[in-house]
């Protein structure tokens, strides 16, 4: 590089020294940031070293929320020393930089026309802002407040802050992506664990009751779901059976489902009939869950000696009872009961008791069966379910449940499963199967 004979040697020396200082600062920042492991640590180191090299009272990093239509979110404010007021920079100021996508410097922000209408802290006497960009996209704003010398920020400060921002933006983005990846892996582990726990709560196998067949299946719409079924052995060879559907999906719904299952199991042994069991379960659920949470539930008690079924329906889909001697007729729908569980604390549930005759079939299901939609948005529907039950009613209960599950899956084809699909089948045999 040929020296400029007209240049002032003193100016050249100052520029060289300033360049060395800037490189030293950038190298120090790069080393400090590179040695950190978390997103917050990267931000803290960046803020700390920027304050030091710009000799500012405070530096603020304001990052744009990802996948959101909201305004920028300031995630860190850092003061150089104790006792100084913490500036709460408004979204209007941050938005000014995001819109312009250019540096902004003001050493009289209280009277700057460019900041007119933007509420600023009274103690703010100098301001320097530069955008943080990655591949042309703004990810946030780097803001320095109040030059400690009292003379305000100059062009050299603006250039240095712009260099810091350009060198740091990708580091910040990489740290954010790394943190999101770690959080996603943790969430996936938690979901897998929740799925294992939930599967462990379902019965290992259908109960064996002389003269009867049971079968059940449950397919959650997500990794974990809010549907559940259960078989509860009771005194005198009686068998409690239920199918529930709690509000919501995913992990929150699975937690409420676990709560409901434990409640029903406890109350089933303490109450001799279905209505009183739901009365107590409703009170307990109301007290232990938020107001927006509720559950539908069909609960029944099978008495195999007298071939009777005592039941109560808490706002659930009406189970279908196909009588062996009523071929072609509409099924009986077991609707007696009341409101969904968890709505009112002192609701009294009605109950009913029916006789089960040889060949009778009871099919209990969640709304995920009939509401399953195909790619055209058409639901599977109760009519299709009833036709399947009539066609396969003579088959073992486990095959009947499998046929329904396959038919629903074929109907849905490539459409997303929007709700949990759960089924329980109960048959009184004409004669014991081999």
Q: What pLDDT score was predicted for residue 245?
A: 87
* Structure confidence by residue, pLDDT tens digits, 368-377: 999 999 999 9
Q: What pLDDT score was predicted for residue 78?
A: 47
Q: What pLDDT score was predicted for residue 192?
A: 72
> Buried b / exposed e across 31-51, counting CB within 10 Å, b at 16+?
ebbeebeebeebbbbbbebbb
Single out the residue of 119, 66, 132 nearest to residue 91, CA to CA. 119
Q: What pLDDT score was predicted for residue 34?
A: 63
Q: What pLDDT score was predicted for residue 249?
A: 66
CB 158 within 8 A of CB 105: yes
Average pLDDT rounded to a whole number, residues 364-384: 93
| Tokens 């290992």 -> residue | 204
Per the model's pLDDT, the better-predicted residue between 149 and 311 turns out to be 311
- For the chain, give the mean pLDDT: 83
| Tokens 């329904």 -> residue | 404
Average pLDDT rounded to a whole number, residues 382-393: 94
Average pLDDT rounded to a whole number, residues 47-54: 84
Q: Residue 82 above 50 pLDDT?
A: no
Catalogue all structural domains in the chain, each as residue range(s) with its CATH number: 9-176 (3.30.450.40), 191-428 (3.60.40.10)
CA 434/CA 426 separation, integer angstroms? 18
Token duo for residue 172: 């910040």
pTM for the full model?
0.64
Task: Please give the backbone phi and psi of residue 161, each rounded to the nearest 5 degrees, phi first.
Answer: -65, -35
Average pLDDT rounded to a whole number, residues 48-58: 85
Average pLDDT rounded to a whole number, residues 405-414: 91
Query: 151 pLDDT band (50/70/90 cuts)?
Result: confident
Sheet containing 320-322, strands listed edge to edge, beginning at the edge strand earlier in sequence = 212-219, 421-428, 361-365, 320-322, 332-333
Q: Residue 68 above 70 pLDDT?
A: no
Q: What pLDDT score was predicted for residue 306?
A: 95
Token duo for residue 278: 């739901």
Average pLDDT rounded to a whole number, residues 406-412: 92
Q: What pLDDT score was predicted for residue 80?
A: 44
Task: Please give the backbone phi and psi of residue 133, each rounded to the nearest 5 degrees, phi first.
Answer: -125, 145
Q: What pLDDT score was predicted for residue 396?
A: 94
In 92-209, where do the E strands start and end? Answer: 104-106, 127-134, 137-147
Average pLDDT rounded to a whole number, residues 109-122: 85
Q: What pLDDT score was predicted for residue 302?
A: 97
Query: For the chain, what percent of residues have pLDDT higher than 70?
Result: 81
Task: Please enumerate in sequence order all residues whose Cβ is within 8 A of that of 404, keeping only pairs 6 or more positions apart, or say none.
Answer: 363, 365, 369, 385, 388, 389, 423
Q: Residue 74 above 60 pLDDT?
A: no
* Structure confidence by residue, pLDDT tens digits, 327-358: 778 899 999 999 999 999 999 999 999 999 99
CB 47 within 8 A of CB 76: yes
Q: What pLDDT score was predicted for residue 381?
A: 94
Query: For the chain, what percent of residues have pLDDT higher than 90?
Result: 38
Q: Residue 26 above 80 pLDDT?
A: no
Q: Residue 239 above 60 pLDDT?
A: yes
* Structure confidence by residue, pLDDT tens digits, 288-328: 888 788 899 999 999 999 999 999 999 999 999 999 987 77
The least confident of 84-93, 175-184, 343-352, 370-379 is 84-93
Report for 47-56, 71-80, 400-409: range of highest mean pLDDT: 400-409
Q: Residue 4 above 60 pLDDT?
A: no
Report the chain's terminal Cα–Cα distance, integer Å: 99
Query: 75 pLDDT band (50/70/90 cuts)?
Result: very low
The least confident of 242-246, 252-256, 289-293, 342-346 is 252-256
Average pLDDT rounded to a whole number, residues 79-102: 65
Single out the residue of 302, 423, 432, 299 nearest to residue 358, CA to CA. 432
Task: Please give the backbone phi and psi of residue 187, each rounded to the nearest 5 degrees, phi first.
Answer: -65, -40
Query: 250 pLDDT band (50/70/90 cuts)?
Result: low
CB 347 within 8 A of CB 297: no
Q: What pLDDT score was predicted for residue 399?
A: 96
């Amino acid at each position: 590089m040929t020296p400029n004979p007209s240049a002032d040697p003193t100016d050249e020396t100052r520029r060289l020294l300033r360049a060395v200082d800037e490189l030293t600062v950038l190298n120090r920042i790069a080393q400090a940031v590179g040695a950190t492991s978390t997103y917050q640590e990267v931000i803290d180191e960046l803020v700390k070293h920027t304050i030091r090299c710009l000799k500012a009272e405070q530096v603020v990093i304001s990052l744009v929320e990802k996948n959101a239509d909201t305004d920028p979110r300031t995630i860190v404010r850092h003061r150089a020393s104790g006792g100084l007021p913490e500036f709460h920079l408004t979204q209007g100021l941050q938005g000014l930089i995001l819109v312009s996508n250019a540096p902004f410097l003001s050493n009289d922000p209280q009277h700057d026309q460019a900041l007119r209408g933007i509420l600023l802290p009274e103690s703010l006497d100098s301001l320097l802002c530069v955008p943080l960009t990655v591949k042309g996209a703004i990810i946030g704003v780097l803001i320095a407040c109040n030059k400690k010398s009292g003379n305000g920020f100059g062009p050299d400060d603006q250039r240095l802050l712009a260099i810091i921002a350009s060198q740091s933006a990708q580091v910040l983005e990489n740290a954010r992506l790394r943190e999101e990846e770690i959080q996603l892996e943790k969430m996936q582990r938690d979901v897998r664990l929740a799925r294992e726990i939930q599967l462990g709560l379902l019965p290992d196998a259908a109960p064996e009751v002389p003269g009867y067949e049971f079968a059940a299946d449950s397919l959650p719409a997500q990794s974990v779901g809010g549907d559940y079924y259960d078989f509860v052995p009771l005194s005198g060879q009686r068998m409690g059976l239920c199918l529930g559907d709690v509000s919501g999906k995913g992990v929150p719904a699975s937690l409420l489902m676990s709560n409901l299952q434990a409640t029903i199991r406890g109350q089933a042994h303490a109450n001799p009939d279905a209505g009183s069991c739901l009365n107590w379960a409703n009170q307990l659920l109301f007290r232990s869950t938020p107001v927006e949470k509720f559950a539908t539930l069909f609960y029944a008690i099978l008495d195999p000696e007298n071939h009777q079924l005592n039941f109560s329906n808490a706002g659930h889909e009406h189970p279908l009872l196909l009588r062996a001697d009523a071929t072609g007729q509409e099924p009986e729908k077991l609707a007696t009961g009341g409101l969904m569980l968890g709505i009112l604390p002192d609701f009294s549930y009605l109950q009913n008791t029916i006789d089960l005759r040889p060949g009778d079939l009871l099919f209990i299901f969640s709304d995920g069966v009939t509401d399953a939609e195909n790619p055209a948005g058409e639901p599977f529907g109760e009519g299709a379910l009833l036709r399947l039950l009539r066609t396969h009613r003579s088959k073992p209960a486990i095959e009947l449940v499998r046929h329904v599950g396959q038919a629903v899956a074929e109907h849905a084809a490539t459409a997303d499963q929007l709700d949990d699909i759960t089924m329980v089948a109960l048959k009184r045999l004409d004669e014991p199967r081999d």
